[in-house]
Amino acid sequence: MITRRWQRVTLLGVLGYEAAGAVLGGSLLAAVPDGRLIDMPVDIMEGTFHDFFIPGLILLGLGILNAAAFVAVFRRHRADWVLAGLASGGLAVWFGVEIAVLQQLHWLHAMWGLPVVLGGMVALPLVPARHATLRNALLACGIVASLLYVTATILGAMRYPGYHFTSHTVSELFAIDAPSKALVDPLLVAYSLLWIAFGVGVWLSAGRSLALRIAAAGLIGKEIEGVVVQLFFPMHQRGVAATSNDPMHGVLTYVGVVSFLVAMGFGAMAFGTWFRRYSIGTLLVCLAFAILTGLEVPRMVANQPTPWMGVWERITIFGYLLWGVILAILLRAHGAIAPRQLDKLTQLETPPSGDLRHWLARQREHLMTTRTAFIRRQPVLTYFTLTFAISWGGFLLAGGSGLFAGTSWRTDPAFLVAVQVMLAGPPIAGLLMTVLVSGTAGLRELLSRLLKWRVGGRWYAVALLTAPILEIAVLLALSRVSPVFLPAIVTSDDKAALLASGIAIGLAGGFAEELGWTGFAIPRLLVRHSAFAIGVIVGPLWVAWHLLQMLWVGATSSETLPLALFLPLFFLSAVATLTAYRVLMVWVYERTGSLLVAILMHASYIFSTLFVLAPPTTGLPFLTYSGAFAAALWVVVAAVAVADHAHFTQQPLRKRAA
């Protein structure tokens, strides 16, 4: 409740002024849509609307909202700040839309906009003392953000001749040089800011629920990534030659999809049965239609028809937004309460009736108990099974046609989509198994290892420099024999794009994979095995996980060598290389206990061997380079075994299982 008189009087004045102006202006525009009553020509809107009828209705609605806020503040209602914030925020968003549509700043914006700023400044100091109201207002931002997103896509499509909701994606609305970009950019940035505020509201509502806090972090992270993609890495329009922006747009969009899937997955764990089932169902639907959208990317890049791509993508996006709206409604209804209380409030109990129902319930309970017991007895085996099932299944679904058709992985966009889908296997399997085996305690332990950064500078040096130093040494030696072995950064025409891609994809790939390999499997194997033994066990499995990707690359990289000879040698060199590197990664993890360092070491390998330093070789030169690099890694493994023999091969290792 507002208590300071000057604040209350000022806010009442602003709300009354804005309500009167918006109701009057909106009524005049809606009644006579050609704008002659206020001397405003229709063509000022640059073709976004045919007349002022819809803008007039929107302005009228904002006026009514400001009038309601005026009444709430005047009567000291407990919702006074929420309504005042929504009224001022709604007008601020509307002014942004007007400026984007008109493509100019009109004097009326100052006349009506400055009081809105004043009202916001008056209301903001009241927030800290009203935690519950602030939390509810932040949660309401999720609902407003969802409506704003839908509005932005509709308005953007109206400004884009030839755009169709069924066949075009949302990203094309803010593509480089798109006619709708000037309108859509500010609206979607506003949406992202509102959704980030919603994520903060979820965090404030989490109480002791770690799962809900992780969900909040996923919501916030997804929109931060979304702003970066929109402002710094927009895609090009169809039919325009691609640049480094386009692959970065795809990779970061994939990271955003993973973020919101993680948010939905953990959000499901924080609630009772019906919401959990709804969340998991929505997650699976979003994942399926995201894959369908990815399958259309090659056709979009080739400027071919994509009749249903817009539908697939919007099902994914709107499914996520609807989930967020329902989450906001639940949290506003139940408040910030303990997880067990929330579970009771959202649990839907069905009273059993009849012997058959009892028997089915007992059988289901027995089956679940048996499955849970097996998972807990064989957690690592279950993890690897899930990882391979998700990754290989996704890869074949997204890129199977190109793999079996023998298309070049360098030119077929489906390859990148398939690899992105494949990367979902380790993190999904790792997080799921952590919850099933160790519950929320396991998630807390996983998060603590992920945030553990105080490990000493030498371990960061080992993690970040091992791969690039060995790569440079091998390539310098081989380049004296032939210039084909010169590092990619030397021969590249766009060195900045190569570095940026290497860093971004290295970090994304390292995070996704190690969340499963080192996040779940490695600590449990360390209970019984040495670092060297684990590396020898996991290394070949790591290579096998890449098998489909390697077959696609190898099938078009043999040059003059027969595939029957090239592919086995390619596979053996990968086993030698990745096993040696995994041995070193396990050793570093055993000495530091830091999942963060493991992610950085993996990212360094991707950065060096797949992007910045890897020479663009094929056939015999590729096998020569791969064999030499594998030999260098095993030399380092031998040196570590001699220097740190106790920790590396013999001494029982301390347990780090979650």
Digit-coded pLDDT (tens) for 14-60: 888 888 888 888 888 878 888 777 777 877 776 666 777 878 888 88
- Token pair of 407, please? 């298309």
Integer Cα distance of 114 and 44 in angstroms:
22
pTM as predicted:
0.55
Contacts of 328 (CB under 8 A, 6+ apart): 139, 140, 142, 143, 198, 201, 202
Averaged confidence pLDDT in the chain: 81
Integer Cα distance of 50 and 355 in angstroms:
66
Integer Cα distance of 585 and 580 in angstroms:
9
> Higher model confidence: residue 463 or residue 526?
463
- Token pair of 273, please? 């049965």
Q: Can you say whether residue 456 is alpha, beta or left, with left for phi > 0 and alpha for psi between -120 and 50 degrees?
A: left
Integer Cα distance of 224 and 295 in angstroms:
26
- What is the band of 9 on the pLDDT scale with cuts at 50, 70, 90? confident
- Region 517-535: what's the mean pLDDT? 89
Residue 157 has pLDDT above 60, yes or no: yes
Long-range contacts of 69-76 (CB under 8 A, 24+ apart): 69/15, 69/19, 70/12, 70/15, 70/16, 70/19, 73/2, 73/8, 73/11, 73/12, 73/15, 74/12, 76/1, 76/2
Residue 414 has pLDDT above 50, yes or no: yes
DSSP secondary structure string for all residues of 581-629? HHHHHHHHHHHH--HHHHHHHHHHHHIIIIIIS-----HHHHHHHHHHH
Tokens 């169902």 locate to 281
Integer Cα distance of 491 and 145 in angstroms:
46
Integer Cα distance of 319 and 285 in angstroms:
8
Task: Output the furthest CA–CA distance in the chain (Å, rounded).
Answer: 89
- Token pair of 260, please? 């919101």
The confidence score (pLDDT) of residue 459 equals 95
Contacts of 95 (CB under 8 A, 6+ apart): 109, 112, 113, 116
Report which of 259, 166, 186 is spatially closest to residue 219, judged by C-alpha positions. Answer: 259
Residue 424 has pLDDT above 50, yes or no: yes
**Which amino acid type is present at position 270?**
A
- What is the band of 625 on the pLDDT scale with cuts at 50, 70, 90? very high
Burial of 78 (0-12, 13-18, 19+ CB in 10 A): exposed
Residue 269 has pLDDT above 80, yes or no: no
- Token pair of 258, please? 């993973």
The confidence score (pLDDT) of residue 296 equals 81
> Higher model confidence: residue 511 or residue 181?
511
Integer Cα distance of 267 and 278 in angstroms:
11
* DSSP 8-state secondary structure symbol assigned to residue 261: H
Residue 344 has pLDDT above 50, yes or no: no
Residue 176's DSSP bridge partners are 236
101-144 pLDDT tens trace: 666 556 666 676 677 767 666 665 555 445 556 677 788 888 88
Residue 466 has pLDDT above 90, yes or no: yes
